[in-house]
């Protein structure tokens, strides 16, 4: 039913030469992965070089963010049209680091998603609570509100191109992964929210990734959970052997 999606988010790491070396090793090591999708999201600077290397391989290309306008006077911004033009299939939107350092809020995230879908890019909507929010018992309220706001105005057909990534902020880059049970509970809450918004069929088909200190030694347990349909991997995606082990989760 749901094809798992394992994605590497390199964040602001790797030169073009390092990206090429990683991509060659990754493609060589992937083998038969027809039962899962594998995606890498390098920095913008490596996209054009990696696109032809990844063509006709099982490794898909994505970007880490996008602006919502198609073109114009937006210094420093990259449009969905430009990403599509380079061969990107996916784009990450609303990552907590974008929300924290670059001012992306729910309304901006929603505009970016609508713009990305308008150009045929699949969007990975990132949601997740902070440590104080979890400790205060607000995690589910915060996360489901982010889901509602991020997907506002979308219809069932558009939802076919959406992936949600649950990334608790306190688990990102800390080595402090959510327990498989806690992650599963949040994924189930997200799916229940989707049932309310879009109905059973859309909710059952939509993939929900977990992100936050996913490593070779915890991926199998996370992926065994009923509502965990993939992983969005930061630090461990930088070393190709680790990423390959994660992509080959059992
Ligand atoms: P880490 O895997 O480094 O915790 O990062 C997760 C993440 O933010 C992926 O988008």
Taking the CA atoms of residue 133, residue 138, residue 142 and residue 144 in that order, the dihedral angle to the nearest 10 degrees is: 140
Confidence of residue 92 (pLDDT cuts 50, 70, 90): very high
pLDDT of residue 32: 86
What integer is the mean pLDDT of 38-55?
98
Confidence of residue 61 (pLDDT cuts 50, 70, 90): very high
Q: What value does the mean pLDDT of the chain take?
A: 97
Q: How many CB atoms lie within 10 A of CB 17?
A: 10
To test the pocket of ligand 1, the residue of 168, 172, 246 to mutate (highest count of ligand atoms within 8 Å of its CB) is: 172
Q: Does 24 fall in a domain?
A: yes
Measured by CA distance, the residue closest to atom 7 of ligand 1 is 234
Q: Does 241 fall in a domain?
A: no
Helix (H, G, I), strand (E, B) or coil at 167: coil
Domains of the chain: total:
1
Contact 49, 16 (CB under 8 A): yes
Outline where the chain has alpha helix (H): 16-30, 44-54, 80-86, 96-101, 106-118, 131-135, 139-150, 156-159, 180-198, 200-205, 219-223, 240-247
Pick the atom of ligand 1 nearest to 165's CA: 10
Pick the atom of ligand 1 nearest to 95's CA: 10
> Distance from the CA of 162 to the center of ligand 1, in angstroms?
19
Q: Which two tokens stand for residue 132?
A: 């104080």
CA atoms of 216 and 244, how far apart (whole Å) = 9
pLDDT tens by residue, 176-204: 999 999 999 999 999 999 999 999 999 99
Q: Does 84 fall in a domain?
A: yes
Q: Does 242 fall in a domain?
A: no
From 91, 29, 86, select the one nearest 239 (Cα to Cα): 29
Distance from first CA to last CA of the chain, Å, rounded?
Answer: 17
* 71-97: burial string, b at 16+ Cβ within 10 Å, e else: eeeeeeebbbbbbbebebbbbbbbbbb
pLDDT tens by residue, 153-184: 999 999 999 999 999 999 999 999 999 999 99
Pick the atom of ligand 1 nearest to 171's CA: 4
Q: Does 223 fall in a domain?
A: no
From 194, 174, 206, select the one nearest 96 (Cα to Cα): 174
CA atoms of 156 and 115, how far apart (whole Å) = 16
Q: Does 203 fall in a domain?
A: yes
Helix (H, G, I), strand (E, B) or coil at 21: helix
pLDDT tens by residue, 20-34: 999 999 999 999 899
pLDDT of residue 183: 98
Confidence of residue 241 (pLDDT cuts 50, 70, 90): very high
To test the pocket of ligand 1, the residue of 12, 170, 173 to mutate (highest count of ligand atoms within 8 Å of its CB) is: 173
pLDDT of residue 1: 81
CA atoms of 53 and 23, how far apart (whole Å) = 8
Whether the model pTM is above 0.85: yes
The per-residue DSSP string of 226-240 comes to TT--EEEESGGGSSH
| Ligand 1 interacting residues, C-beta cut-off 6 A | 9, 95, 167, 172-173, 211-214, 232-236
pLDDT of residue 189: 98
pLDDT of residue 74: 98
Domain range for 149 is 5-213+230-235
CATH code assigned at 76: 3.20.20.70
> Distance from the CA of 72 to the center of ligand 1, in angstroms?
32
């Amino acid at each position: 039913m749901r094809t798992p999606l394992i994605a590497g988010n390199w964040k602001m790491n790797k030169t073009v030469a390092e990206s090429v070396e990683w991509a060659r090793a990754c493609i060589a090591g992937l083998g038969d992965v027809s039962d899962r999708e594998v995606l890498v999201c390098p920095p913008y600077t490596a996209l054009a070089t990696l696109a032809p290397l990844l063509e006709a391989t099982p490794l898909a290309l994505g970007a880490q963010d996008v602006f919502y306008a198609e073109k114009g006077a937006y210094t420093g911004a990259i449009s969905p049209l430009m990403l599509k033009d380079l061969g990107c299939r996916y784009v990450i939107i609303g990552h907590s680091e974008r929300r924290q350092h670059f001012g992306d809020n729910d309304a901006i995230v929603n505009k970016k998603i609508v713009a990305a879908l308008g150009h045929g890019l699949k969007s990975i909507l990132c949601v997740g609570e902070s440590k104080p929010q979890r400790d205060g018992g607000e995690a589910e309220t915060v996360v489901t509100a982010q889901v509602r706001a991020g997907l506002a105005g979308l219809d069932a057909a558009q939802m076919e191109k959406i992936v949600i990534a649950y990334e608790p902020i306190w688990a990102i880059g800390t080595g402090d992964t959510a327990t498989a049970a806690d992650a599963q509970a949040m994924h189930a809450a997200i799916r229940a929210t989707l049932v309310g918004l879009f109905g059973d069929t859309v909710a059952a088909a939509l993939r929900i990734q977990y992100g936050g200190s996913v490593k070779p030694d915890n991926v199998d347990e996370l992926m065994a959970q009923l509502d965990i349909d993939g992983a969005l991997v930061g630090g461990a995606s930088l070393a190709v052997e680790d990423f390959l082990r994660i992509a080959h989760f059992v």
